[in-house]
A and B are shown apart, each in its own frame.
Chain A
Amino acid sequence: MKYLSRVFWLAIGCTFLFPLYWMITMSLKSKSEAYNNQFGIPYSWDWINYSEALSKYHFFVYFENSLIYTIGTIAITLTTGSMLAYCLSRMQWRFNSAALLYVSLGLIVPIEVVLIPLFQLIKWLHLKDSYWGLILPYSGFAIASCVLMLFAFLRSLPKELEEAACIDGTNVYQTFFRIIFPIVTPALMTQCVLLFMRIWNEFPLAFIIASKDQFRPLTVGLLSFFVSVGVSDWGLIGATMVLSSLPMIIVYMIGNEKIENALTAGAILK
């Protein structure tokens, strides 16, 4: 029984790894081999798909866009979010708890249900077909979870350091950027990882807002490329898939443990 369950879960574990195998082998097969030998190991390694993919598929444009969207969102969300969290945890004002409640509303509304008015808003603000058109809404939607997590982190932090800084005559802005910011870095890193995974792979909003090819991120660019190729050339599709997944897989291999910790920190705090 124990043996049987181990075999079962090992098989499941292998199915999770199967896409990697499938993508890589597929990308090395010629057009006809992709049909005759869809799941086996390629007879001969054929790198032509990659050169074709790089010439037809605007990988570097999409990659750069994804990078801009992701880094822009992370920068804006973490700066504004940590400032608000600091304000809510340390400063005394009348609407303190109301603001916290207000921000936590953001956890209930999924971005998909306001797709239509958001589209209109971005058109109205003339942000469509610019990088801000995605960065700003992404940040707006990411702020809720960022603030709540950092708030929980900051509340548990003793105030002595700041008191000392105050006595030394720094003002509150210096205290925040020089003292608090470095201390909350672990929590910020967690948020960074979560945001990276979310924004890098975001699809619905990007599909609608980034309609011009030069602004498309990888997820959307990949889909339009699939549509243009059709299902005739799996080798080429495999190569573009490997190219598009490569950045994420490299990040995952380097930051594997950090990503796990980040995801699970999210689970325990909420």
Chain B
Amino acid sequence: MNKYYSTKVSIFVFSAPALILFSVFCVYPLLPEIWMSLNNHDGFRNLGFVGLDNYKDILASASFWTAHKNTYLIVGISVFLGLPLSLMFALFMDVQTPKLRRFFKTSAMLPAILSVTVVAEMWISFYEPTYGLFNSILRSIGLEAWTHSWLTEKNTVMPSIGLTFLWQYIGLNAMLFYTGIKTIPKNYYEAALIDGASFTQVCLRITIPLLQDVTKYVLILSALGSMAFYSQVRVMTAGGPGDLSRTVIYQMYYVAFETSEFGKGTAIAVVFILECLFISFLIQRFVAREKLEF
């Protein structure tokens, strides 16, 4: 049987296309990325080797740190606010009548399938200072003082974008949690019911601990997904006002394509890849536990 499968030709034919595609477009770009970050590069020509100067420059620039602050704010929002909320939503969905559950499942996924551009543009209209939804509501309940020009003020711009992001993906995460809940065997719950446990107790003692695999998956998905946060900022504020809503990827994009400093852009990317690796290492190290068997 082995001879049948594994001739040199068949192995080559089956493995080469995917491996080549993967190597050329996914792995190979990392090499010029590192090399470019050590050079002064304007996007067309290499203007000479500069060693670690690009790294010194980007670490000294204030925009780089603003971008980091914004990116980690988004990561924080999606991990510490998004995860618990979507978990609660999933737990709640589980105890509903089938009809209501159908409604929640369908509606919750909707924002995640709409394109980023559509969602962002829609929220621009909600945040609009004069006619927008938020300010209209605040005015109509007499909280005139709380109205803001949400997307152009220093303190409100990032939380506003964060809320959009949270809203778009909460339902999707809740769906992932919900399927995790469905895989937990019913007899655990029956036993708990006989012992007279309350809903909260069941959630805290049975459901949540047994969900750790799914939790880890959603955690990685949302942590790394929000690290690469870019599109919403591009559409909603284009990084403004000034550089106040730029995220790291946006900053990288801006430095490379708008000021033509590809060397510095790639330096930002290299630093950021290391951060992404570190974050996924942290999650693997501290969240992964022994594999559960039901």
- Whether A114 contacts B117 in the complex (CB less than 8 A), given A22-B122, A83-B15, A267-B217, comes out as no
Task: Convert B8-35 into 0s and 1s, putting 1 for each residue whose CB lies closer than 8 angstroms to a CB of A.
Answer: 0011011101110110111111111100
In the bound complex, residues from chain A placing their C-beta under 8 Å from that of B29 are: 114, 117-118, 121
Is the pair A99, B15 in contact by a Cβ cutoff of 8 Å?
yes
**Interface residues on chain B, size class:** 35 or more
Is the pair A219, B227 in contact by a Cβ cutoff of 8 Å?
no
- Tell me the smallest distance from the CB of B283 to a CB of chain A, in Å: 11
- Tell me the smallest distance from the CB of A165 to a CB of chain B, in Å: 10
- In chain B, positions 205-238 with a C-beta closer than 8 Å to chain A are 214, 217-218, 224, 227-228, 230-231, 234-235
Task: Convert B116-136 into 0s and 1s, putting 1 for each residue whose CB lies closer than 8 angstroms to a CB of A.
Answer: 111101101100100111001
Is the pair B167, A15 in contact by a Cβ cutoff of 8 Å?
yes
Query: A114–B252 Cα gap in the complex (Å)?
Result: 10
Is the pair A143, B22 in contact by a Cβ cutoff of 8 Å?
yes
Is the pair A108, B276 in contact by a Cβ cutoff of 8 Å?
yes
Query: A35–B129 Cα gap in the complex (Å)?
Result: 12
| Residue with the highest number of chain B CB atoms closer than 10 Å, among A112, A118, A264 | A112
Whether a CB of chain B sits under 8 angstroms from the CB of A130 is no
Partner of B269, one of A13, A114, A163, A244: A114
Partner of B118, one of A15, A79, A241, A264: A241
Query: A237–B125 Cα gap in the complex (Å)?
Result: 11
Whether a CB of chain A sits under 8 angstroms from the CB of B150 is no
- Tell me the smallest distance from the CB of A33 to a CB of chain B, in Å: 12
How many residues on chain A are close to B (CB under 8 Å)?
A: 91
In the bound complex, residues from chain A placing their C-beta under 8 Å from that of B103 are: 13
Q: Is the interface of A mostly helix, strand, loop or mixed?
A: helix
Of the listed stretches B74-82, B168-176, B285-293, name the one at the interface; the rest are far from the partner chain.
Answer: B168-176
Partner of A201, one of B110, B115, B179: B115
Whether a CB of chain A sits under 8 angstroms from the CB of B156 is no
In the bound complex, residues from chain B placing their C-beta under 8 Å from that of A88 are: 15
Query: A15–B10 Cα gap in the complex (Å)?
Result: 53
Partner of A114, one of B18, B33, B110, B235: B33
Task: Convert A17-35 into 0s and 1s, putting 1 for each residue whose CB lies closer than 8 angstroms to a CB of B.
Answer: 1011011001000000001
Whether a CB of chain A sits under 8 angstroms from the CB of B109 is yes
Query: A18–B2 Cα gap in the complex (Å)?
Result: 58
In the bound complex, residues from chain A placing their C-beta under 8 Å from that of B165 are: none
Residue ranges of A at the interface with B (Cβ–Cβ < 8 Å): 5, 9, 12-17, 19-20, 22-23, 26, 35, 38-39, 76, 79-81, 83-84, 86-88, 90-93, 99, 102-103, 105-106, 108-118, 120-121, 136-137, 139-141, 143-144, 147, 159, 163, 166, 172-173, 176, 197, 200-201, 203-204, 207-208, 218-220, 222-223, 226, 231, 234, 237, 241, 244-245, 248-249, 252, 256, 259-260, 263-264, 267-268, 270
Residue ranges of B at the interface with A (Cβ–Cβ < 8 Å): 1-2, 4-7, 10-11, 13-15, 17-19, 21-22, 24-33, 36, 43, 89, 92, 103-119, 121-122, 124-125, 128, 131-133, 136, 167, 171-172, 175-176, 178-180, 183, 214, 217-218, 224, 227-228, 230-231, 234-235, 249, 252-253, 256-257, 262, 265-266, 269, 272-273, 276-277, 280
